[in-house]
């Protein structure tokens, strides 16, 4: 047999084990031109070599040996993690069918009876080495693929988190004009009110000055008192008394409104990606409505029909994002004037939040595409097509689901179902929030 044909790899290492030195020498002569050959005259030495480095790729093992016999050696090899995968061929003088069977039973990959023909040894050795190389290759590839999968999953999780955050910021960005208006209005009248207060105070101080002047006069006469009465009338002091109270109340309300918007925005934009908390969803709905208020209130009437629901274990900032997407979609589906209704309730261990609009409705053929990333029917700048796909992911992560019902020209209802406590979540922190 020619050398190229026989060799699997120039580096392949073979351990031959035989107590008969002449047998070792004969096998050595046969294999050495093609492989790196190690020899062991007994089982103990064979185990030593097999567990050392470099490890053999294949072991040719005699069965009948004094001390440890071949079966025992093979058992030890199989019981040791570092050697359990090394293929072993028995080369034995025992040549009955039973011997062969036993050899395979204890885990040999092949069984060659002595006296052997050299070509048979070479061919079988080569086959086993090829098999081993293929097995090793597969194992390596598997390890590589597994690590690659872990790496890709981590990459995807990272992208998802970034997407989640950037979609949320984009949503707030889209709402910014409205939010700015919401804040500007109370700020404008608070500053106008301050202007009025200033003028009123100037009048009041003028009157006070007149009274002070009177204090200096020992006996004020009728003409002086009359002057003050006129001044009081001129400055409309009675009116100012009421007006100032009203200005202050109004301004206090305006500032409270600004503070509320700022705090809603703050809670909405918080990252808190992994904060699972027992949450009152009606509060979340209200603060989200407060943020989308301006997008909605001029052309939609919002009807709240809140049922009895328990606190739900969820990531509130993410649920807010879902509610925001559904509310903005509902508002954008209403071309002129319409209604948005929010209905909540509990069915068994689940809570539902249904957001209905009297908008355009969704054509049957686009229904299956709604949750696809980047699917949008809106012009550039108005829609990213990510709202529903992100919402879907968030709700799924909470162990819930989103249902859609739509009638073209009549309107649409999106219903978010959430388990009160997602399976697999411990629901700790309950005591802290109660
Ligand atoms: N309430 C709704 N009424 C009508 N169509 C809707 C409604 N909600 C979503 N859609 C449709 O689903 C598409 C995808 O929605 P979404 O993922 O939020 O992306 P975007 O709003 O940026 O387009 C929308 O472009 C719209 O065609
Ligand atoms: Mg949207």
CB atoms inside a 10 Å sphere around CB 298: 10
∠ Cα 77 41 35 (to 5°): 75
Residue 2: predicted pLDDT: 43
Pocket test for ligand 1, best of 340, 376, 390 (most atoms within 8 A of CB): 376
Under CATH, which architecture does the 3-116 domain have? 3-Layer(aba) Sandwich (3.40)
Ligand 1 atom with the shortest distance to the CA of 383? 22
Residue 145: predicted pLDDT: 93
Residue 329: predicted pLDDT: 94
Ligand having the closest approach to the CA of 385: 1
Residue 269: predicted pLDDT: 63
Are 288 and 327 in contact by the 8 Å Cβ rule? The answer is yes
Look up the pTM and report it: 0.58
Cα(296)–Cα(337) distance, rounded to whole angstroms?
10
371 ligand 1 Cβ < 6 A? no
**3-class DSSP assignment, residue 312:** strand
Question: How far is the centre of ligand 1, averaged over its atoms, from the C-alpha of 377 (Å)?
Answer: 7
Residue 104: predicted pLDDT: 92
Cα(396)–Cα(418) distance, rounded to whole angstroms?
9
Are 254 and 187 in contact by the 8 Å Cβ rule? The answer is yes
Q: Which residues 6+ apart lie within 8 Å of 16 measured at CB?
A: 24, 27, 28, 31, 37, 38, 39, 40, 59, 60
Closest alpha carbon to 113 in 88, 89, 93, 87: 93
Ligand 1 atom with the shortest distance to the CA of 385? 19
Report residue 223: phi and psi, to 5°.
Answer: -65, -40
What is the CATH topology of the domain spanning 271-434? Heat Shock Protein 90 (3.30.565)
110 ligand 1 Cβ < 6 A? no
Residue 393: predicted pLDDT: 87
Residue 294: predicted pLDDT: 76
**3-class DSSP assignment, residue 417:** strand
Atom 25 in ligand 1: which residue has the minimum CA distance? 376
356 ligand 1 Cβ < 6 A? no
Residue segments in the chain with a per-residue pLDDT below the cut of 50: 1-8, 431-434
Domain with CATH 3.40.50.2300 in the chain: 3-116
Tens-digit pLDDT profile for residues 233-254: 888 888 888 888 888 988 988 8
Domain with CATH 3.30.565.10 in the chain: 271-434
Cα(33)–Cα(72) distance, rounded to whole angstroms?
30
Ligand 1 atom with the shortest distance to the CA of 388? 17
Tens-digit pLDDT profile for residues 14-73: 999 999 999 999 999 999 999 999 999 999 999 999 999 999 999 999 999 999 999 999
DSSP 431: H
């Amino acid at each position: 047999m020619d050398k190229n044909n026989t060799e699997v790899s120039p580096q392949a290492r073979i351990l031959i084990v035989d107590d008969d030195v002449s047998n070792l020498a004969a096998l050595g002569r046969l294999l050495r031109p093609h492989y790196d050959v190690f020899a062991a005259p007994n089982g103990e030495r064979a185990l030593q070599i097999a567990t050392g480095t470099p490890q053999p790729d294949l072991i040719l093992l005699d069965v009948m040996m004094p001390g440890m016999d071949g079966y025992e050696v093979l058992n030890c090899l199989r019981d040791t993690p570092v050697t359990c995968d090394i293929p072993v061929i028995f080369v034995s003088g025992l040549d009955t069918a039973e011997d062969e069977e036993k050899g395979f039973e204890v885990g040999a990959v092949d069984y060659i009876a002595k006296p052997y023909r050299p070509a048979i040894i070479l061919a079988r050795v080569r086959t086993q080495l090829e098999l081993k190389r293929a097995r090793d290759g597969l194992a390596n590839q598997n390890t590589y693929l597994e690590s690659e999968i872990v790496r890709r999953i981590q990459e995807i999780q990272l992208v998802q988190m970034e997407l989640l955050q950037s979609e949320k910021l984009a949503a707030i960005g889209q709402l910014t004009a409205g939010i700015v208006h919401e804040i500007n209005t109370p700020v404008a009248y608070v500053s106008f009110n301050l202007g009025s207060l200033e003028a009123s105070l100037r009048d009041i101080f003028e009157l006070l000055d007149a009274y002070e002047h009177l204090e200096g006069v020992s006996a004020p006469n009728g003409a002086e008192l009359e002057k003050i009465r006129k001044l009081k009338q001129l400055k409309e002091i009675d009116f100012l008394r009421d007006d100032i109270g009203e200005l202050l109340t109004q301004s206090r309300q305006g500032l409270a409104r600004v503070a509320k918007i700022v705090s809603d925005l703050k809670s909405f934009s918080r990252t808190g990606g992994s904060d699972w908390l027992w949450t009152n969803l009606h509060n979340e709905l209200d603060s989200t409505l407060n943020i989308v208020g301006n997008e909605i209130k001029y052309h939609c009437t919002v009807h709240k029909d809140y049922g009895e629901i328990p606190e739900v274990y969820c990531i509130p900032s993410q649920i807010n994002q879902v509610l925001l997407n559904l509310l903005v979609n509902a508002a954008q589906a209403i071309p002129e004037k319409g209604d948005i209704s929010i209905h909540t309730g509990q069915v068994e261990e689940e809570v539902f939040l249904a957001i209905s609009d009297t908008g355009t409705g969704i054509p049957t053929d686009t229904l299956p595409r709604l949750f696809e990333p980047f699917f949008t029917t809106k012009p550039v700048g108005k829609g990213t097509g990510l709202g529903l796909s992100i919402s879907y992911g968030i709700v799924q992560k909470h162990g819930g689901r989103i249902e859609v019902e739509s009638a073209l020209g009549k309107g649409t209802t999106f219903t978010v179902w959430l388990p009160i406590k997602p399976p697999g979540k411990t629901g700790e922190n309950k005591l802290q929030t109660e």
